[in-house]
Chains A and B, each alone.
Chain A
Amino acid sequence: MSSSHKTILAVGFLVLMGAAAGLGSYPVYLMSLAMINVIAAVGLNMLTGNAGQISLCHSSFMAIGAYTSTLISAHWGLPFWVSIPMGTVLAGLAGGLLGAPATRLAGIYLALATLGFLQIVQITIEELSSITGGVRGLNVPKASIAGTELSDYPKFLIIGLSCAAVIWICSNLMKSRVGREFDAVRLSPHAAQAMGLSISRIKLSAFMLSAALAGLAGGLQALLVGFIDPVEFGVSASLRHITFIVVGGMGSMGGSVLGALVLSALPEFLRPVKEYSDLIYVAILLAFLIFLPRGLITLLTSLMNRVRGIGRAAGRT
């Protein structure tokens, strides 16, 4: 991406953040939710798209982030800007806890282990109802800065800035040595090992990074929605995140963003046929897996190349 593109993106982002001030609270809420989805998708895509590891428990890390930050604010009275980072760190550590044994597994065995982990987290939340509120859920303490309670727009700004920071950091990270190591593990673990890379260290760092971002997304979601319950973080939530990256484009930062934004907007368009929305969602996932496994981003880039080609041809005449 050239520097002029970056400028356009940055300016566009700032305009969007400013313009949202004029919107009603529902669109602002939806956009916040979409950006939380972007954060989660970016995290998952680095693990699955770049490092090539299947994870069915992304939503569990979101749960860990959400419950940690909520419980810390509720019991210790710490402000959200302390509790959410703590939730992020704890989710990252949980990612390490799962990742350490999971680095020995691949393919379906990894899928099974992550599915098992998801169930363990889910059941633990449900059974520890004295702490987590169990299936009835938990109200998140109202977030405030300097005594003023946050309304939807300041929350939107916080989430938007976090999202921009995550995209900026992660796209640089994926262009650095870390990203190349992830790609090496996906493309050829044997060759990577022969080059002296430690596969298990790389897999572990992919798990921790991805889990930490999921934890951040979970903490922000708790902040935004104000209520958490275990149903939010079940296997269908994990599948939703996987759908984001499959539809957007595996292993592509633009793909994560595109997929998360498009699919976050989808429920609004499906409102007239609400009862079919689950069906449509899964059908979209299957259709992409079979017919366009590399995602929307490939369509977008080929379209942009064509436009550029036309522009160049026009310039010559």
Chain B
Amino acid sequence: MTTALALQLTLAGLSVGSVYALVALAIVLPFKASGVLNFGQGEVVTLGAYVALVLTQSGLPYAAVILGVLGVGLLGGWAIEYFFIRPIIRAPEFTIVIATFAIGLLIKAAISLKFGDSPNSVDGPFGMEPLLLGPVRANPTSLWIIGCTAAVTLGIVAFFKWSRLGKAMRAVSIDAQAAQLMGIRSESVYRLAWMMSTAIGAMAGLLVAPLVGVNPELGGLILRGLLAAVLGGFTSVGGALLGGLCVGLVETFSGVWLGSTFKNLMPFVVLMVVLVFRPQGFFGVGEVKRV
């Protein structure tokens, strides 16, 4: 394998990995805030991709498309939290797991009812003409995805570190009761976490659309996002990012070296192994439970 090819593959791996990282991030946020794992996050990605499709086809400039996707994401998160999650937040874990799954299927069923099952394609902001960086042919869409992911991650990290709201969210995730006694409304924090999560998920849909096309099955990439989140330990932003990039890179390179069967099977075997032997992931802290 030449260096140029290796670099090209690395770039491709990092760009799909970025999408996985965003999905993982979107999974981690509400989980950290309220302990709810959104198994329907994949369909939020699909929703984002379809919003991007509709807005692009209506001829809006790309900046407006981005704003529209983020807006729908925020609104969707608010609606999911308000109508579905809040009524069952105290229910057993099974109920919440299945409910989030069902919300995803609801979105998917609605989308395939409206748009049909046939795949559509969306253009990225830069087209598909490869950039030549020396011997490396770089897909500008890949660079755009990596850049956007970096920006989103940095934004989130800064938000948690410096903003009042971010600090409030961290407080609630550490100890909801104590935070409430300090005057933080945990309900608002949960809602905000969901809105941020679905906005990031929708953004992932917008970004991945030019790479893989838009179809109702797009949400299947949640499995890679979940793997990334598990690798990252489920509770850290940096972990989700690193986890996503690892999954993207390993998937791309193993696809080249070991064929598609292995590429398809690998993430799930890794998932099982990690869950069994190191459920706290590689960047998380083990949960200490008092019996």
Chain A residues engaging chain B, CB cutoff 8 angstroms: 48, 52, 54, 56, 101, 104-105, 107-109, 111-113, 115-117, 119-120, 123-124, 127, 190, 236, 239, 242, 246, 275-276, 278-279, 282-283, 285-286, 289-290, 293
Contacts and interface: CB of A to CB of B under 8 A. Distances in A.
Interface in B240-274: 261, 264-265, 267-269, 271-272
B101 interface: yes
Contact of A293 (B95, B110, B276): B95
Given A111-B37, A112-B230, 7 more contacts: A54-B97, A101-B275, A119-B267, A120-B269, A246-B98, A285-B102, A290-B84
A257 B98 CA distance: 20
B39 A120 contact: no
A286 B103 contact: yes
Nearest to A235: B101
Given A279-B110, A282-B109, A293-B91, A115 B37 contact: no
A289 B223 contact: no
A127 B265 contact: yes
A279 B98 contact: no
A285 B106 CA distance: 10
Interface on chain B toward A: helix, strand, loop, or mixed SS?
A: helix
A108 B97 contact: yes
B99 interface: yes
Interface of B: 37, 39, 84, 87-88, 91, 93-95, 97-99, 101-103, 105-106, 109-110, 112-113, 223, 226, 230, 261, 264-265, 267-269, 271-272, 275-276, 279, 291
A289 B98 contact: yes
B265 A116 contact: no
B97 A111 contact: yes
B99 A289 contact: yes
A190 B265 contact: no
B94 A54 contact: yes
Contacts of A246: 98
A116 B91 CA distance: 25
Given A115-B223, A239-B102, A290-B84, A105 B97 contact: no
Contacts of B99: 286, 289-290
A282 B102 contact: yes
Contacts of B105: 236, 239, 278, 282
Kindly list the 9 A-B residue pairs having the minimum CB-CB distance in the complex, ordered from nearest: A278-B109, A116-B271, A101-B276, A279-B109, A119-B268, A116-B268, A107-B93, A108-B37, A282-B105
A283 to B, nearest CB: 7
Contact of B279 (A105, A127, A236, A282): A105
A290 B88 contact: yes
B151 to A, nearest CB: 29
A111 B39 CA distance: 10
Contacts of B268: 116-117, 119-120, 123
